[in-house]
Amino acid sequence: MAHRIEVEHGTTLFVEDIGSGQPVIFLHGWPVNHRMFEHQMATLPEKGFRFIGVDLRGYGQSDKPAYGYDYDRMADDLRVVIDTLEIKDAVLCGFSMGGAIAIRYMAKHGEKGISRLALLGAAAPVFTQRDDFEFGLPKENVDDLILGAYADRADMLKDFGGLFFGKEPSTHFNSWFHSLGMQAGPHATIESARTLRDADLRGDLQVISVPTAILHGRNDEICPFDLAEQMEAGIANATIIPFEESGHSLFHDEREKFNETIIQFISEPVKS
């Protein structure tokens, strides 16, 4: 089932909703869309879970307004989706930029509708280095992505893909994944990159109280593993699960382990 949900006047999001059982919400990374979770879309409904994939504003089949590409607005969009679909006791899974949005949602909306959080190669708590934060990428690297998006977005995405995958994907998979990035609005790609560069979620971490799994590739060149350690230190009920053979694309590099870990995390009883 597919939904088109109006999150503010004139802006609707596309939401893929497959299966029944406990809902598992997936937030994609920059600059693709919910179809990056192809393997989970196929597997989770077979295992008795409800897959909910959200195309963030500006991406995939969602509307692409001129504004609203900050984490506050995108977290508010998610709240409308959760309220509209009357979702309760969900697992919120955020990948890369989607992980940052998930963290902001949990802090801003009081964990409404969410009982567990999975951060998947998350671009958090701070994506870029600054005077009091030595981890992450240099801000200049993101500036280069923005300039590349203005000049030749298709070529920039090709180069970005060279850093993305820890294990070389097939030619067909690589072409398909590149096409997901080209489905985004160019302005959404640029404005979201500015948010990635500038946002600071360190204050949000301490608010999160639900069980949190941090899945992160040891060889991640986009969101270095140090970021996972910073998230674990800031979230009270968090555990890192390292993916020793993965780059940023842990969902592809170690697909079977990724699916098994997500399903185990969803299924294990909550400790009292």
Half-sphere exposure of 1 (CA within 13 A, CB side): 11
**Which whole number is the average pLDDT over 145-173?**
95
Q: Among all chains, which residue has been given the structure tokens 């919120």?
A: 92
The 10s digit of each residue's pLDDT in 81-98 is: 999 999 999 999 999 999
Please check the confidence at residue 271 and state whether its pLDDT lies above 80: no
Answer yes or no: is pLDDT of 226 > 90. Answer: yes
**Distance in angstroms (rounded) separating the CA atoms of residues 193 and 56:** 14
Residue 8 makes CB contacts below 8 A (sequence gap 6+) with 68, 77, 80
Average pLDDT (144-156) is: 98
Residues 6+ apart with CB under 8 A from 220: 121, 166, 246, 247, 248, 250
Residue 131 pLDDT greater than 70, yes or no: yes
Residue 236 — pLDDT band, cuts 50, 70, 90?
very high
Q: Are 108 and 75 in contact (CB under 8 A)?
A: yes
Residues annotated as catalytic (active site), given as ranges: 96, 220, 248
In three-state secondary structure terms, 167 is coil
The predicted model gives 26-35 an average pLDDT of 98
| Residue 242 backbone dihedrals phi, psi, to 5 degrees | -75, 145
Query: Sorting pLDDT into bands at 50, 70 and 90, what band is 268?
Result: confident
Q: Which two tokens stand for residue 79?
A: 């709240």
Indicate if the pLDDT at residue 47 is higher than 70.
yes
Fold (topology level) of 2-267:
Rossmann fold (3.40.50)
Rounded Cα–Cα distance for residues 175 and 161 (Å): 10
Percent of the chain with pLDDT over 90: 96
Strand partners, 14: 4
Question: Helices 139-164 and 171-182: crossing angle, nearest 10°?
Answer: 140
